[in-house]
Amino acid sequence: MKDGIFIGDRYEVLSKVGSGGMADVYKGKDHKLNRFVAIKILKKEYREDELFVRKFQSEAQAAAGLMHPNIVNVYDVGEESGLYYMVMELVEGITLKDYITKKGVLSSKEVISIAIQVANGIEAAHLHNIVHRDIKPQNIIISKEGKVKVTDFGIAKATSSNTISTNALGSVHYTSPEQARGGFSDFKSDIYSLGITMYEMATGHLPFDGDTAVSIAIKHLQEEITPPSEYVEDIPFSLEQIILKCTQKSADRRYQDVASLKEDLKHSLVDPDGDFVVIGPMRTMDETVMFNPDDVRKAKRETSYDEDDFSEEDYDDYDDFEDDDDYDKKGRKKNGDVNPKMAKMMKVLTIVAVVIIVFIVVFIIGKATGLLKFGPSINLEDDADKNEKVKVPDLRGMTEEEAKKVLKDKKYDMTLVVDSEEESTTYEKGQIIKQTPGSNKEVKKKP
């Protein structure tokens, strides 16, 4: 695309400012309204795919109806001489991904402030029944004034066309388990992706990584998330609990709407170490979903594209972020589908169990060695190094019965012991709130 040409007898292309997986981005000028804009033009390989073009136009037109301070607004969508374009608000700034790369780990105040603004934009879209489906730091821009804006609303659905083949590695790090399965995605899918984004802001790490998009998707489905405090010891307790609630594998255990998430984020600003985040009960263990070959094929077809950088310029750190909305006073949704057997158990149990997992490890020593003698001074973790290891499962949020079912798995050589009981507002009655050793600690595999 040459500089100086006009599109639609209205938009002048001034200079190229970025390029992404599906489109090139140009700085332009709207001569009708006398303002600078960003013009996104589809690349040739996508312009030739009729199915993709139809989805692109349909979703982009729906997104064009969104107007919010925390959304990169879409002004116009059109086609001219085979060129499919989208005219958007021009935001001079830096992507959140680049900001994280530059700073490493963000302060808890920054994490919460950015998350609230992103949530504001997502909530506005949800009120119009638009699910973003591709929330990630690459699609979040921080302006020079410190305003946080979400971009590419409505575009992710178009990019899911089976006829499109591209590298989805950039997006799959943030995709929800239901999206990884190729299943139905809704508002809670965006909440999960925002939770992963908060995790990266707070720790500087992605919770799930791998060499291929499919391997990462499988981890979203099957592996437990490492608590943020494993990376950042002084992370506020409430912020960690908010992140863990957002990233629950079961959508029923996440925040049921963005308003509830915002309420807890604002509460965390004034009570960082408060124990007020409520994570709903787990469903029965029989409902485990296996990742079968059909799921793998769907994951391969489910593609997204990295957000185009609007500027290559470096910017100073933005420490102050705006929040235009008032504090939402309505109560959070705490009701979800609860298994009847679990509900009955919760009525019987009046105090939350604090569980200590006692590991009894039996070492088989050859008759010729006889080097180890059993006694109270045995170092279980050192001896476990001599054997194949497995990670301790995260039992928090389970009932005692559910935890015992998990531990019956042949790879866990451990015994469940209830050490004490105490009250808590974090979990429902009858759920485990603490464990020793902690989750993801490595121990010897059962022989």
Per-residue model confidence as pLDDT tens digits over 173-216: 999 999 988 877 899 999 999 999 999 999 999 999 998 989 99
pLDDT value, residue 435: 76
Q: Do domains 6-89 and 93-301 have the same CATH topology?
A: no
Domain boundaries, the chain: 6-89, 93-301, 340-444
Verify whether residue 134 is a known catalytic residue: yes
pLDDT at 306 over 90: no
pTM of the model: 0.63
Lowest-pLDDT range, 32-36, 39-43, 384-388? 384-388
Q: Does residue 242 or residue 295 have the better pLDDT?
A: 242
DSSP letter for 216, please: H
Q: What is the 3-state secondary structure (H, E, C) of 128-172?
A: CCCCCCCCCHHHEEEECCCCEEECCCCHHHHCCCCCCCCCCHHHH
Output the pLDDT for position 431: 74
Question: Could you tell me if 115 and 243 are in contact, meaning their C-beta atoms sit under 8 angstroms apart?
Answer: no
* Pairwise CA distance, residues 39 & 55, whole Å: 18
Q: Which fold has domain 6-89?
A: Phosphorylase Kinase; domain 1 (3.30.200)
Amino acid at 156: A
> Could you read off the pLDDT of 256-301 as tens digits, one per residue?
999 999 999 999 999 999 999 999 887 654 444 454 555 545 444 4
| CATH placement of domain 93-301 | 1.10.510.10
- Name the catalytic one among 30, 76, 98, 134: 134
Beta strands per DSSP E along 20-144: 23-30, 35-42, 74-80, 83-89, 93-95, 140-143
Q: Are 342 and 281 in contact (CB under 8 A)?
A: yes
